[in-house]
Amino acid sequence: MLAFFLSSGLFLGWSLGANHLSNVFGTAVGSGMIRFRTAAILCSIFIILGAVVSGAGTSATLGTLGKVNAAPGAFMVALAAAVTVYLMTMVGHPISTSQAIVGAIIGWNFFSESRTDYDSLIKIATTWVASPIMSAIFAIVLYKLYAFFIRLFKVYMFKLDALNRYGLIVAGIFGSYSLGANNIANVMGVFLPVYHFPDITFFGQLTLTSDQQLFFLGGLAIALGVLTYSRRVTMTVGSGILEFSPVAALVVVWAHSLVLFLFASEGLRGFLQSLGLPSFPLVPVCSSQAIVGAAIGVGLLKGGGRTVKWRTVLCIARSWMLTPVAAALISFVCLFFVQNVFQQNTYRPVAYKLTAPAMQRLQQAGLYRPQLEKLRDKEYPHAVAFGQALAAVAPLSQRQREGVLNAAELANLVINDECLATLRRDWITPEQFRALVSLKGQRFSHKWLLAQALAAASPSWRPQSGDEKHNRELERKLARLYMLLEAEPLKQ
Amino acid sequence: MKFLVFKKQNGIQKQIDDFLDQVSEAGMLFRNGIAAYLKGDIEALQQRLESISETERRGDGLSRKIEEQLYRQTLIPESRGDVLELLENMDRLLDRFKGSLWRFEAERPDIDAEFHDEFEELCRCVVESVESMVLACRAFFKEINQVTDHMHKVSFWEKECDKLSTRLEKAIFRRQDLTLCQKLQMRDLMRAVDKTSNRAEDVATRLSIYVLKRAL
Q: pLDDT tens, B168-211? A: 999 999 999 999 999 999 999 999 999 999 999 999 999 999 99
| Segment A104-163, tens digit of pLDDT | 999 999 999 988 888 889 989 899 889 999 999 999 999 999 999 998 888 889 999 999
How many other C-beta atoms lie within 10 A of the C-beta of residue B208? 13
Q: What is the rounded average pLDDT for all residues in chain B?
A: 93
**Same-domain status, A367 and A424:** no
Contact A285, A131 (CB under 8 A): yes
Structure-model confidence comparison of residues B15 and A316, the more confident one: B15
Judged by average pLDDT, the poorest of A153-157, A274-278, A452-456 is A274-278
Mean pLDDT of A255-280: 88
**Same-domain status, A201 and A90:** yes
Amino acid identity of residue A85, one-letter, is V
**Same-domain status, A240 and A313:** yes
Burial call B5-36: b when 16+ CB within 10 Å, e when fewer? beebbeebbebbeebbbbbbbbbbbbbbbbbb
Domains recognised in chain B with CATH numbers:
2-214 (1.20.58.220)
Mean pLDDT of A282-307: 85
Position B1 pLDDT exceeds 50: no
**Same-domain status, A379 and A366:** yes
Out of A391, A408, A425, a domain closes at A408
The pLDDT of residue A94 is 65
Closest Cβ opposite residue B142 in set A32, A156, A245? A156
| Segment A366-395, tens digit of pLDDT | 888 888 899 999 999 988 899 889 989 988
**Chain A stretch 163-182, residues whose beta carbon is closer than 8 A to a beta carbon of chain B:** 165-166
The pLDDT of residue B7 is 61
To test the contact with chain B by mutation, choose from A142, A145, A157 the residue with the greatest count of B C-beta atoms within 10 A, namely A157
**Same-domain status, A119 and A43:** yes
**Same-domain status, A110 and A245:** yes
Nearest to A161 by CA among A39, A245, A252: A245
Handedness of CA A321, A323, A329, A335 (dihedral sign): negative
B44: contact with A, CB 8 A cutoff: no
The pLDDT of residue B159 is 97
**Same-domain status, A392 and A438:** no
Position B214 pLDDT exceeds 60: yes
**Domain enclosing residue A320, as ranges:** 2-340
**Chain B stretch 107-136, residues whose beta carbon is closer than 8 A to a beta carbon of chain A:** none
Contact A159, A241 (CB under 8 A): no
Contact A26, A242 (CB under 8 A): yes
Structural domain tally of chain A? 3
Closest Cβ opposite residue B216 in set A147, A156, A161? A147
Closest Cβ opposite residue B76 in set A147, A157, A166? A157
- DSSP letters along B59-101, please? HHHHHHHHHHHHHHTT-STTTHHHHHHHHHHHHHHHHHHHHHH
Handedness of CA B147, B153, B157, B162 (dihedral sign): positive
The pLDDT of residue B62 is 96
Residue A136 lies in a domain: yes
**Same-domain status, A292 and A361:** no
